[in-house]
Structure 1
Amino acid sequence: MNNTGRTIILIFCVLFCIACKTNDEIRFAFVTDVHIGRDKCDEDLKNTVDDINSMKDVDFVVVTGDIANFGADEELQQAKSILDKLNKKWYILPGNHDTKWSESGCSSFKRIFGTEHFEFKYGKYHFIGCGSGPEMRMGPGMVPYSEVLWLDSVMAKTAGEPVIYLNHYPINETLANWYKIIDILKKGNTQAILCGHGHKNQLLNFEGIPGVMGRANVRGKDETGGYNLVTIKSDSIFFAERTPGVETHEIWNRISLKNPVADDESYPRPSYDINQKYPEVKELWSLQDSSDIVSGMAVTDSFCFYTNTRGEIVALNINSGNLLWKYQTAGKIFSTPAYSNKMLVTASTDGSVYCLEASSGKLIWKVVTSKPIVASPVIDEEVVYMGSSEGKMSALSLADGTLIWENTTLQGFIETQPLVDDIHIYFGTWGGYFYALNKVDGTIDWQWKSMKGQLYSPAACTPVSAHGKIFIVDPERYTTAFDAVSGKQIWRSNQYEGRESIGISEDKSLIYVKTMRDSVVALSTAANECKLEWAVNCEFGFELDPASAVEKEGVVFVPCDNGCIYALDRNSGQIIWIRKLSNALINPIYPLGNSQLLASTMDGEIIRLEYK
């Protein structure tokens, strides 16, 4: 062989070595924000899967949340069928679109994909990822309590070896409990954090830990979607965007991996200083549950009843907070219990409606349905009205659970607690509808439909009534008044931009609408137009908590997703006091009278307060 031939072979070998990854390199596909159910997103995911399959140097794939656009079982199943075509190992975790609008109460993701988190080692690196919530309530993300415990346990086993952590959310204030996650990650050798949620490539920093947000797999205004190819080599991580079937773009980000060093910088944590301003508000007792609480309470003179995401129905002594009994179901519970005639009724994502003896927790009857239930019951005249994820509203006998009637013609699953009057049952669904059913036989007397789409359904709002009108707010940021009998729209206004939280005064002369930015407004129920009585700027910031304001003894209690309760004067709206209970969303508040109330937080605390 002549020198020219040897030179050509040598050049070819050098170029081949440059093109191929070395033995100590790791390369993986970083896919996020898939949104199956949105237009052409299934096609985008198929293109991504085909593209990854064509590359022999990709070791594995991570998919970091928002797999479905609406959290529907059908969307998750479709995503699974596409991802199953990958010829490489893949790992997946849920995002907020998979958990907030979940007809299964966040149970189908694990059933379909087999897990809600992952931990594996590749080369010398531990890859750890977990879910981010929020579960079933609009608000900031919040890593579920069970996931926090799991993360803490797996981090403890890494023994100082390098960790790359993945979540759907950035690990900052967009997560209610970001600081808990950061503190756990800092116990180990966390080298980088990868996330989605923002739909764009972005370099971030999480209290000294390098972070990277990946672009969404959805195409947006482009002709096709995309993802990131991530390469770890020579103690660096390189990120390059990939357009499926077209090209790998230039490296847009590099993270330098290094041994952990002591970080003496002080980073902000949630402040409770506001509580010092109002010393007249005192905690009588509190209880930290071992799970998240995503529902309201039922109360008697002796008992406080609540449910949790461990699937427990719990009874406490209302005076001391001591545990009286627990009843375990087979699924998470997002249903607020209802009490009547010494009986307690609620539902579980195991698909069952439960009626228990309130004093003992003994099962009286149980009705099994074909799908998980996330709705809350209401009891009226010895009848239990219960919505379900089957798109049904049922009337059951309180005495024994016997079916009186059911309506199976409704569009979309039911999340809320219905309103009942002498003639109708009123509620919204995640099919975009608001319904008024006849109490006698469950037939639809009237209905109203949102024109903006499923995500804007009036489904999480608990309606209120006064002066022959039904009032709702919806995610289109409108407040609407209907004639209770005919369903005729009396007025509809987006002047104050409420979303899902609406309450009513004790005398039913005012409705209280919590806006999405800082304010609470009181509107007249008697007027045939949107008439403002008062407004107050509470300065709570951007607000999404669907829990309603409630009035007792001239005080309006406003629960917010920043973990604060705002107490307002009923006549003027003036702030009387503020109490921060948590950094997590406040569930529906239960005023007890005599200047006391019960409240619970999404991260699992029950509190009894006294105020002056």
Structure 2
Amino acid sequence: MGNTLIRLAALTLTGVTLAGTVASAHSHRGGDWPTWQGDKAGSRHNPAEFRITPANVGKLELKWAFAYPKTGVVAKSQPAVVDGTAFFGGPDGTFYALDAKSGKTKWTFDLASVDPSQRVVLDGPAVARGKVYFGDSGGYMYALDQRTGKLVWAKDTEPHPTGMHTSSPLYHDGRIYVGASSAENLGDKNYPCCTFRGHIDSLDADTGEVVWRHYTVPEPKEVGTYPSGAKKFEPSGAGVWSSPVIDERTGTLYVGTGQNYTGSAGDFDSLLALDARSGAVRWKQQVTKADTWRDLCNQPDPEGYCPGLKDGTNLDYDIGATPNIFRVKGRTYVGVGQKSGVYHAFDATTGDVKWRRQLGVPLPSGGISGIQWGSSYDGDKLYIATYFAEPGTLFAVKPETGQVLWKTPNPANGCDWGGAAQHKDICTPAHGPAATSTPGLVWEGSNDGKMRAYSARDGKVLWEYDTVRDFQGVNGLTGHGSAISGSGGAVVSNGMLYIQSGYYPFYPSEHGNVLLAFGLK
């Protein structure tokens, strides 16, 4: 994934602190939001949210802010909210459990207590069976006691030194499913590129042991040298950046993959349908014929270092988004957005193409015009947002055919008011976050630092809030908002809205970024 924008800075790490009390956990109870996907099918929809409605959403106000120390690392960990507690990782190497209503800290966990190297949480946690599961920037997976934050197990699941977890874990039937990605393609001209290969893992939820692993590309082999003399390896890449989903009725796991770093082989830019128990491939759909890209493609003088430069296949058209499973006239479909701006819908059983819809207009520079992290399905419509697409736009789409029912561009004045107005050279009308929905509402944030609620009926903006400002955190720190964070999106649970504000582009501030929580007046 080319626009990873993860260049890990030095971290100030804190220790394990307080223990709090949380009731026993269930995978999805009432209005809780226990996993990145919202549910196992990837709907990113909370049907139990009845408190915030189209009629009163305009009365949302900030209830509390939680500020991070300034580290130079993006705020990426979308919260899980279960049994009155919000669980998330900070850009400071700490995992947090806060009271969901007040923001008061219940407990924290220091990643350095497991490994002293500088690690942060880049994914969103999953809460199930009394445990909190998450990964980190070095490839570790963790299980903590939901009530106390005590470590249950930690496993280094990544054999490659640059491997990491941006994929958020999914719990199902005693297993954890999670993908592995890598920032190896950010190496310079002297780096021996590349030897990472993406994979999707099934772990025993009680022990963390790997039950099965599916690699997305064959093992890389040395094939020569670059002009700098650095060794060249092929094929590589095809990281699993996004989170998997599962059809519980058939036991089929669906997950998307990224582009090759070198060579052109394996399951790059593909939607995989795997047997959840064994990892066997049931079907796969490769949506790009050739796509080999590394960061040097965007740097000066890329000749000899940018695979695909001459034939135009340096596209970076990942499937970085999480799939959606939905029903159409008695048939089950699985759909997924691509960084090319296309949303693809397949028959979930056979993999046959049902429809495709071009939404974002493809732009150069690493496929950043398209669908980045995920879409939402409320049982009636699909809600799909595009990133840099001149401008980024929120779409409502008919699940049967892909017909666009309405579309709302990022408001044209988004860079003209609020904190972004002071930095028009930085501000862009783009939608990095995944879309979220609740009955009657769609939630999407922007690079202009605004969080917005849209009418699910016609796409009208019903509420917006500027986050590019200072916030006094309930933890005693001052924080500053930025772009609404990608790699996740809004979480709406039990009458509260939670968002991370602290993503590229970074609006200048001497303070770190913030997690914000909103409720009705």
Alpha-carbon distance change, 591 to 388 in structure 1, aligned in 2, over 3 angstroms: same
1:365 Cα shift? 1.1
Any idea what the Cα deviations from partners look like across 1:53-79, whole Å, max 9, x if unmatched? xxxxxxxxxxxxxxxxx7xxxxxxxxx
Moved more, 447-456 or 318-327: 447-456
Q: Distance between the aligned counterparts of 1:420 and 1:547, measured in 2? A: 22
Task: Say if 2:273 is the partner of 1:414.
Answer: no
Q: Distance between the aligned counterparts of 1:544 and 1:586, measured in 2? A: 10
Q: Distance between the aligned counterparts of 1:354 and 1:438, measured in 2? A: 24
1:611 Cα shift? 3.9
Moved more, 332-341 or 367-376: 367-376
Report the equivalent of 1:526: 400
Any idea what the Cα deviations from partners look like across 1:412-432, whole Å, max 9, x if unmatched? 222111122133222222233
Q: Distance between the aligned counterparts of 2:93 and 2:431, measured in 1? A: 22
Report the equivalent of 1:599: 499
Give the aligned residue type for 1:451: K
Q: Distance between the aligned counterparts of 2:359 and 2:137, measured in 1? A: 37
Q: Distance between the aligned counterparts of 2:255 and 2:399, measured in 1? A: 19
Task: Say if 2:424 is the partner of 1:586.
Answer: no
1:456 aligned counterpart, secondary structure = coil
Say if 1:456 and 1:474, in contact at 8 Å, map to a contact too.
no
2:255 aligned counterpart, secondary structure = strand
Task: Say if 2:110 is the partner of 1:302.
Answer: no
Higher helix share: 1
1:576 Cα shift? 0.7
Say if 2:132 and 2:146, in contact at 8 Å, map to a contact too.
yes
Q: Distance between the aligned counterparts of 1:381 and 1:285, measured in 2? A: 36
Q: Distance between the aligned counterparts of 1:409 and 1:573, measured in 2? A: 38
Say if 1:352 and 1:366, in contact at 8 Å, map to a contact too.
yes
Report the equivalent of 1:550: 436
Q: Distance between the aligned counterparts of 1:601 and 1:347, measured in 2? A: 20
> Gaps (5+ residues) in structure 2?
13-56, 112-116, 182-196, 218-236, 260-268, 293-314, 362-369, 416-427, 469-480, 503-511
Q: Distance between the aligned counterparts of 1:518 and 1:475, measured in 2? A: 12
Report the equivalent of 1:433: 270
Residue 59 of structure 2, aligned match among 264, 277, 280: 280
Q: Distance between the aligned counterparts of 2:377 and 2:351, measured in 1? A: 22
Q: Distance between the aligned counterparts of 2:127 and 2:199, measured in 1? A: 22
Task: Say if 2:124 is the partner of 1:336.
Answer: yes
Any idea what the Cα deviations from partners look like across 1:476-517, whole Å, max 9, x if unmatched? 121211111221222222245443254223225333334621
For 1:323-472, what aligned pairs fall within 5 Å after superposition? 323-329=105-111, 330=117, 331-369=119-157, 370-371=159-160, 372-374=163-165, 375-389=167-181, 390-410=197-217, 412-422=238-248, 423-431=251-259, 432-449=269-286, 450-451=288-289, 453-454=291-292, 455-467=315-327, 468-472=332-336
1:512 aligned counterpart, secondary structure = strand
Report the equivalent of 1:265: none
1:500 aligned counterpart, secondary structure = coil
Q: Distance between the aligned counterparts of 2:403 and 2:170, measured in 1? A: 30
Report the equivalent of 2:366: none
Give the aligned residue type for 2:80: A
2:372 aligned counterpart, secondary structure = strand
Say if 2:359 and 2:386, in contact at 8 Å, map to a contact too.
no
Report the equivalent of 2:25: none
Higher RCO structure (Cα 8 Å, ≥6 apart): 2
TM-score normalized with structure 2 length: 0.61
Say if 1:599 and 1:606, in contact at 8 Å, map to a contact too.
yes
Residue 312 of structure 1, aligned match among 75, 94, 102: 94
Q: Distance between the aligned counterparts of 1:470 and 1:336, measured in 2? A: 22
Give the aligned residue type for 1:426: Y
Residue 346 of structure 2, aligned match among 477, 482, 489: 482
Say if 2:319 and 2:336, in contact at 8 Å, map to a contact too.
no
Alpha-carbon distance change, 145 to 383 in structure 1, aligned in 2, over 3 angstroms: closer
Alpha-carbon distance change, 351 to 538 in structure 1, aligned in 2, over 3 angstroms: closer
Say if 2:429 and 2:447, in contact at 8 Å, map to a contact too.
yes
Q: Distance between the aligned counterparts of 1:448 and 1:309, measured in 2? A: 35
TM-score normalized with structure 1 length: 0.52
1:518 Cα shift? 4.5
Say if 2:203 and 2:210, in contact at 8 Å, map to a contact too.
yes
1:307 Cα shift? 0.8
Identical positions, percent: 19
Alpha-carbon distance change, 364 to 502 in structure 1, aligned in 2, over 3 angstroms: closer
For 1:68-107, what aligned pairs fall within 5 Å after superposition? 100-101=3-4, 106=7
Q: Distance between the aligned counterparts of 2:138 and 2:382, measured in 1? A: 38
1:145 Cα shift? 9.2
> Gaps (5+ residues) in structure 1?
1-69, 71-96, 108-115, 117-143, 147-277
Alpha-carbon distance change, 279 to 570 in structure 1, aligned in 2, over 3 angstroms: closer
The count of corresponding residues between Structure 1 and Structure 2 is 344
1:298 Cα shift? 0.9
Report the equivalent of 2:371: 499
Query: For the pair shown, which has the larger CA radius of gyration, 1 or 2?
Result: 1
Q: Distance between the aligned counterparts of 2:494 and 2:107, measured in 1? A: 25
Q: Distance between the aligned counterparts of 2:255 and 2:66, measured in 1? A: 32
1:325 Cα shift? 1.6
Any idea what the Cα deviations from partners look like across 1:268-309, whole Å, max 9, x if unmatched? xxxxxxxxxx97331111111124411211111221111123
Q: Distance between the aligned counterparts of 1:304 and 1:549, measured in 2? A: 19
